[in-house]
Amino acid sequence: MTKTRRSAGWYGKLDRDGFIHRSWMKNQGFPDHAFDGRPIIGICNTWSELTPCNSGLRDLAEGVKRGVWEAGGFPVEFPVMSLGETQMKPTAMLFRNLLAMDVEESIRAYGLDGVVLLGGCDKTTPGQLMGAASVDLPTIVVSSGPMLNGKWKGQDIGSGTDVWKFSEAVRAGEMTLQDFMAAESGMSRSKGVCMTMGTASTMASLVEAMGMCLPTNAALPAVDARRMALAHLTGKRIVEMVDEDIKPSDVLTREAFENAILANAAVGGSTNAVVHLLAIAGRVGVDLTLKDFELASDIPLLVNCMPSGKYLMEDFCYAGGMPVVLNELGDRLRSAKTVLGGDISAYADGAECYNRDVIRAFDDPLKPAAGLRVLRGNLAPDGAIIKPSAATDALLEHEGEAYVFESIEDFKANVDRDDLAVTPDTILVLKGCGPKGYPGMPEVGNMPIPKKLVQQGVRDMVRVSDARMSGTAYGTVVLHVSPEAQAGGALALVKTGDRIRLSANEGRLELLIPDEELATRRAAWQPDPPHYTRGYAKMYVDHVLQADKGADLDFLVGKDTRPVTRESH
């Protein structure tokens, strides 16, 4: 028996309601037979000129449409909020959950049978997946793709990673401002996301490892004709997925999330993957926790890309991309269904590596253990994370005195003071930058090294905060401390001069003061007054969960697949 399509509730009725739904759509020139019961496919597009990473998605949408028409579907493109990580203030992360709401309600309200998600920039991919998972219609992803390699003075340069290095070199007097400005023009040479293994490319890689896109989606450059061909094939596949009734809940299983955790370690992926995977898992009902990220503690670093290595995403693509990584993970991968209907192991079938300096073999890695480390202790009772592959090995076991910045404004005003009481052994502590505190948990956790130390040649030191850091950043940086300072976590109680102990190997982050002193400080503590008192930002602060829960809004966790039965007219 043929299953009645969801879209029939909009376009299949031979009454007044069906007349209205079809007639208004026909003002765009669609003929009668477009409404003959074929699947209606929504193309959820985050294209925007304010999101340069996603500026190529308008073209990719046309490729998807070609594939949908070819397979006998009816494609309809619709816009949702676009989150430009490099452009939005106070931080794009503040609006990830708003995008998820936009996606969820758009899919639910319109007569769609399946959805293609077009995203790329850091928060667009997880935000779209969160929203789509909450409705649970057949869904597949097409990513923007990375920019071409940056070029400057005959060398490759990477977005984000080299920005931090160049900025520190200018502060140290090792690079002229003229050279710094010249590098700016060579950094971003084409449409696409950061060409380092930043958050955007990390999330695209993990989407591929979870089987939510077609193979090779993660690494094909944005301007490569093969990405347009992949968009076409994706449009064709989503029509088949509707017929086969393959939904996000069928693909985004616990096994798929475990594969994403393993893959994140292998590619040297962004720490931001933690909050995004936790949030997506919460939408599909998978009980993922911070502890699960320890599954990858022994996974080696295989991909030699910035910031953990030296190459860029274009090189990763030409070396074979994610299929090679999945092949190298071999029997460590969990068996899991994909949007193609088969097992994720099929994504690795026939994968060949064409450059072993870019993608290493499992038994000849760049680093032997690259998984993110989960830290706990009295300073982070609900957890914190650190990325060893981007850290200085000698600092992963460290004890030192804290120098505390009470806010990001305090940090910016004082970090370059000549009389700042810091040494290379000092642990920099930044408060007030968590989900509630900033609000939105910005990428400021990789605090610049104090100028007096930069001029002495110091390029890394231990830094601790409730913030995030860019996936393009590097350093011995402890992030996502939970609970955050604004929520009354122990981070709020740290004072300059306190001693802190970090042990990445033991998974510990301890404030070395007596429990009685900690209790006294807690009794005297008061939260800062809220930054926002109206609109979405207030709703966010009132309802956002802590980082160890994915920083979703508490009332959005889970999904609602009930049909919409009430008419609009």
93-130: pLDDT as tens digits: 999 999 999 999 999 999 999 999 999 999 999 999 99
Cis (ω within 30 of 0) for the bond into 126? Answer: no
CA distances from 74 to 38, 64, 136 (A): 7, 11, 19
What pLDDT, on the 0 to 100 scale, is given for residue 20? Answer: 95
- Please give the average per-residue pLDDT across 277-302, as a whole number: 96
Residue 267 resides in a domain:
no
Alpha helices for 56-120 (secondary structure H): 57-70, 96-109
Q: Which of 235, 254, 273 is the last residue of a domain?
A: 254
Residue 337 resides in a domain:
no
Verify that 223 and 74 share a domain, yes or no. Answer: yes
CA distances from 264 to 194, 201, 260, 261, 295 (A): 17, 11, 6, 5, 11
Q: 221-241 burial string, b = 16+ CB within 10 Å, else e?
A: bbbbeebbebbbbbbbbbbbb
- Please give the average per-residue pLDDT across 59-84, as a whole number: 98
Q: What is the pLDDT of residues 407-418, one digit of tens each?
A: 999 999 999 999
What pLDDT, on the 0 to 100 scale, is given for residue 50? Answer: 95
- Domain range spanning residue 482? 373-528
Verify that 210 and 63 share a domain, yes or no. Answer: yes
Residue 309 resides in a domain:
no
- The pair of three-digit structure tokens given for residue 127, joined into one six-digit string: 């935000």
- The pair of three-digit structure tokens given for residue 358, joined into one six-digit string: 């870019």
What pLDDT, on the 0 to 100 scale, is given for residue 3? Answer: 76
Assess contact for 362 and 308: CB atoms under 8 A: no
The domain that holds 404 is classified in CATH as 3.50.30.80
What pLDDT, on the 0 to 100 scale, is given for residue 2? Answer: 59
Residue 129 resides in a domain:
yes
Q: Which of 254, 280, 301 is the last residue of a domain?
A: 254
Verify that 208 and 66 share a domain, yes or no. Answer: yes
Residue 489 resides in a domain:
yes
Verify that 244 and 381 share a domain, yes or no. Answer: no
Residue 412 resides in a domain:
yes
Going by pLDDT thresholds of 50, 70 and 90, the confidence category of residue 353 is very high
Q: What is the DSSP letter of 356?
A: T
Using a pLDDT cut of 90, give the percent of the chain over it: 91
Q: 428-450 burial string, b = 16+ CB within 10 Å, else e?
A: bbbbbbbbbbbbbbbbbbbbbbb
Q: What's the rounded Cα separation, in Å, for the pair 467 and 464? A: 9
Residue 539 has pLDDT above 60, yes or no: yes
Please choose, from the candidates 485, 417, 426, 473, the residue with its C-alpha nearest in 3D space to the C-alpha of residue 445.
Answer: 473
Alpha helices for 154-311 (secondary structure H): 161-171, 177-187, 199-209, 225-244, 248-251, 254-267, 272-284
Residue that is written with structure tokens 């505390």 in the block:
404
What pLDDT, on the 0 to 100 scale, is given for residue 189? Answer: 93
- The pair of three-digit structure tokens given for residue 302, joined into one six-digit string: 């295989």
Residues sharing a CB contact under 8 Å with residue 33, sequence separation 6 or more, in sequence order: none
Q: What is the pLDDT of residues 80-102, one digit of tens each?
A: 999 999 999 999 999 999 999 99
What pLDDT, on the 0 to 100 scale, is given for residue 471? Answer: 86
Assess contact for 229 and 199: CB atoms under 8 A: no
Residue 558 resides in a domain:
no
Length of the chain (residues): 569
Residue 28, helix vs strand vs coil: coil
Residue 251 has pLDDT above 50, yes or no: yes
Q: What's the rounded Cα separation, in Å, for the pair 97 and 52? A: 20
- Please give the average per-residue pLDDT across 330-346, as a whole number: 98
Verify that 247 and 113 share a domain, yes or no. Answer: yes
- Please give the average per-residue pLDDT across 392-415, as a whole number: 97
In degrees and rounded to multiples of 5, residue 257 shows phi and psi of -65, -35
Going by pLDDT thresholds of 50, 70 and 90, the confidence category of residue 438 is very high
Alpha helices for 358-493 (secondary structure H): 408-414, 451-454
Q: Which of 213, 228, 254 is the last residue of a domain?
A: 254
Q: Which amino acid is at 24?
A: W
Going by pLDDT thresholds of 50, 70 and 90, the confidence category of residue 9 is very high
Residue 361 resides in a domain:
no
Please choose, from the candidates 385, 455, 444, the residue with its C-alpha nearest in 3D space to the C-alpha of residue 420.
Answer: 455
Verify that 98 and 240 share a domain, yes or no. Answer: yes
In degrees and rounded to multiples of 5, residue 284 shows phi and psi of -100, 0
- What's the total number of domains in the chain? 2
In degrees and rounded to multiples of 5, residue 552 shows phi and psi of -80, 170
What pLDDT, on the 0 to 100 scale, is given for residue 565? Answer: 81
What pLDDT, on the 0 to 100 scale, is given for residue 145? Answer: 98
Going by pLDDT thresholds of 50, 70 and 90, the confidence category of residue 161 is confident
Q: What is the DSSP letter of 337?
A: B
Its sign, for the CA torsion 354, 355, 358, 361, is: positive
Assess contact for 158 and 146: CB atoms under 8 A: no
